[in-house]
Amino acid sequence: MNYNLDTKSAQGKKKRPLLASLKKLVAIISDERRNLIIAFFAITVNASLSLAGAYVIGYTIDNYVQNKDYQGVLLFAGILLVMYIIAFFVNYAQMIMMGGIGQRMLYSLRNSVFNKLQELPLDFFNQNKSGDLISRINNDTQKVNEFFSQSLMRFIGGIITMTGAGILLLAINLPLGLAALSPALFLLVFTKIISPWIRRKNEASLESLGKLSAEIQESLANFKVVVAFNRRDYFRDRFMKVNHENYKRSVYAGIANNVLNPVYTFAANIGQLIVLALGIYLIIQGSFTVGLLISFIAYVMNFYNPLRQLAILWANFQQALAAWDRISYLLSLESNLEVTEETEIHKNASLVHFNDVSFSYPNGKEVLHKVNFRLERGKTYAFIGPTGGGKTTTASLIARLYDATKGTLLLNGRDIKSYKAEERAAKIGVILQEPILFSGNVRENILYGNESLQAMSNKELEDYLQEAGLGSLLQRFDRGLETPIQMTGEGISLGQKQLIAFMRAILRKPELLILDEATANIDTVTEQQLEAIINNLPSSTTKVIIAHRLNTIENADEIFFVNSGEITAAGSFNKALDLLMQGINES
């Protein structure tokens, strides 16, 4: 299955209309409906008070200022002050409420994205760079949050104020109101035409930011190699290339985000000029008053000022939509490792049975072709073959890191697809050539994914390790279980990392233990220790060893030769050696 986010986003840009994106965007804050209603009420009150203030000023001028009734002027000035104070507190409360909604939404959205990543198969992570995924979790969710917490209510408040001002302009004087609003028709058409372009520029900017993040992450992760080969220039040149691309796209996005504001400002000035010219003409004709003209000009400002703000907010909205598109597509992905209904259990079946299994990586050639073999309980099996022959792929299929393209794989007589992930993981342990560790300490790493031992104290866990024959491995760490582990396992040797991986896998007591070149990076003494521990596993434990070092497979019950998409039983150790040498020569 193709999980490439860049490919999918490029294909899907024309398939996600504005309304569909809006519906998805609103859905993520459905739990905040009550708070949003309160905030909407507050912004409506604030807008209404602002509009009422303009009318009160015009009314005061016509009825009290022109008649020199200073008592009336003071009375309405007091009324205006009370209205403005109420508007201040209402606006302040609404801002605090929306800030809280935005932060809760950000927390929930980041959790949703991260949980979705936990559900997706290994295929997804092979096809996408981790830096881009980090950018989606951090940067894209922040863009959506900024719109909801800072811009949404201003956006809604601007629409309410603008709508109310437009209605009042038409109600006070229909011809003058129509003339004042005429530039808005041009703005409507212009905005509709320009919005898709703005959105595309923001999408391109966010994508380039993701690529920049991916490049930084990849370069820093491989910095040892960069230093070892003295190729900082290569690191620098790659970074400069993606940084320059991000710079260009950010500049284009910045231009796009600001292109509306000057146009809206110009339209607002034209509207005010029309009102001023026609208003003075109507006053001279005696059909209009000075107070009404002042109120009218205030309403024109109340119409066009929010419109100018909306021009800026609309760009933010397009940016949030572009970010949401990247997030929503990720959230819409489903794992191709579906759990099927439990199938018929085959009695007296082998532990593992490959039945006409074929496998191809996405957009790649076939790695395995109609493979058939069985693994019986309690035996030790070795898989050998030249590099790239399909050994690790076979182990990955057994652990269901991938699904077979064709054919059936049975585990304990059941289709492996019918096992839930936690059920399958409890039965199969995997030790990789380069173990994955997490920042923390030795205890946290060896108990990773092992809930049954989490409640043990350090003393109880040490005794348990001693009983399991793992106590000697723990002694290789200066501070025992409390030995700190830095990110990616820095600070300890590769051999110590492998010891942690062994303890982690064996403590789970799996029915099937897969060792993928697990002893390739450790010294001979430690390798002998690990072999002794493996040999002392319960007799029912099936062991699958993938190795290049032939001394690790001499005692295997059966040896399989893997090459060119086929897996064949090699028979004796000498026969396996002959097949291996032949495969190496052919490759």
Q: Which of 300, 332, 364 is the last residue of a domain?
A: 332
Are 408 and 279 found together in one domain?
no
CB 220 within 8 A of CB 214: no
CB 147 within 8 A of CB 320: yes
3-state SS string for 281-346: HHHHHCCCCHHHHHHHHHHHHHHHHHHHHHHHHHHHHHHHHHHHHHHHHHHHCCCCCCCCCCCCCC
Closest CA to 129 of 236, 212, 204: 212
Are 389 and 523 found together in one domain?
yes
Are 115 and 193 found together in one domain?
yes
Q: Which two tokens stand for residue 258?
A: 């600001």
Strand order in the sheet with 366-375: 366-375, 352-360, 406-411, 414-415
Q: Which of 332, 367, 399 is the last residue of a domain?
A: 332
* CATH code of residue 424: 3.40.50.300
Are 445 and 552 found together in one domain?
yes
Q: How far apart are CA 284 and CA 73, in angstroms?
A: 25
Residue 7 counted as domain residue: no
Residue 120 counted as domain residue: yes
Are 401 and 546 found together in one domain?
yes
Which residue blocks in 516-572 are alpha helix, DSSP H?
524-535
Which residue blocks in 222-289 are alpha helix, DSSP H?
223-228, 232-258, 260-285
Are 437 and 328 found together in one domain?
no
Q: How far apart are CA 432 and CA 509, in angstroms?
A: 17
- The residues, any chain, with a CB within 8 Å of residue 181's CB and separated by 6 or more, are 166, 169, 170, 271, 303
Are 75 and 178 found together in one domain?
yes
* CATH code of residue 122: 1.20.1560.10
Closest CA to 282 of 578, 28, 291: 291
Q: How far apart are CA 395 and CA 401, in angstroms?
A: 9
Are 308 and 360 found together in one domain?
no
Are 327 and 377 found together in one domain?
no
Are 316 and 452 found together in one domain?
no
Residue 221 counted as domain residue: yes
Q: Which two tokens stand for residue 194?
A: 């320009």
Q: How far apart are CA 569 and CA 587, in angstroms?
A: 20
Which of 467-476's residues contact partners 24+ apart within 8 Å by CB, and which partners? 468/506, 468/507, 469/532, 469/533, 469/536, 470/502, 470/503, 470/506, 470/507, 470/533, 472/529, 473/499, 473/502, 473/503, 473/529, 473/533, 474/442, 474/503, 476/526
Residue 338 counted as domain residue: no
CB 543 within 8 A of CB 380: yes
DSSP code at position 511: S
Are 360 and 312 found together in one domain?
no
Residue 269 counted as domain residue: yes
pLDDT values of the chain reduced to their tens digit, one per residue, 587 residues: 667 776 544 444 444 555 665 666 666 667 777 887 888 888 888 888 888 887 788 778 877 777 778 888 888 888 888 988 988 888 888 778 777 877 888 888 888 888 888 888 877 877 777 777 888 888 888 888 877 777 777 777 788 888 888 888 888 888 888 888 888 888 888 888 887 888 788 888 878 887 887 777 777 666 666 666 666 777 778 788 888 888 888 888 888 877 877 888 888 888 888 888 888 888 887 777 887 788 888 888 888 887 777 767 777 777 777 788 888 888 888 887 888 887 666 666 789 999 999 998 877 778 899 999 999 999 989 888 887 788 888 988 998 888 898 999 999 888 898 888 888 888 898 887 777 888 888 899 888 878 888 888 999 999 988 888 888 888 888 888 998 888 666 678 877 888 888 888 888 888 999 988 777 667 777 777 778 888 878 888 999 988 766 666 777 888 888 888 888 888 766 776 776 666 556 55
Residue 290 counted as domain residue: yes
Q: How far apart are CA 461 and CA 479, in angstroms?
A: 14
Residue 34 counted as domain residue: yes
What does the pLDDT read at residue 221? 66
Helix (H, G, I), strand (E, B), or coil: what is residue 19? helix
CB 25 within 8 A of CB 259: no
Closest CA to 315 of 200, 207, 185: 200
Q: How far apart are CA 585 and CA 8, in angstroms?
A: 41
| Domains held by the chain: number | 2
Q: How far apart are CA 366 and CA 364, in angstroms?
A: 7
Q: How far apart are CA 20 and CA 24, in angstroms?
A: 6
Residue 343 counted as domain residue: no
Are 328 and 467 found together in one domain?
no
Q: How far apart are CA 106 and CA 94, in angstroms?
A: 18
Describe the chain by its helix, strand, coil percentages, rounded to 5. Answer: 65, 10, 25
Q: Which of 277, 300, 332 is the last residue of a domain?
A: 332
Tell if the pTM clears 0.85, that is, is over it: no
Range of the domain at 437: 352-586
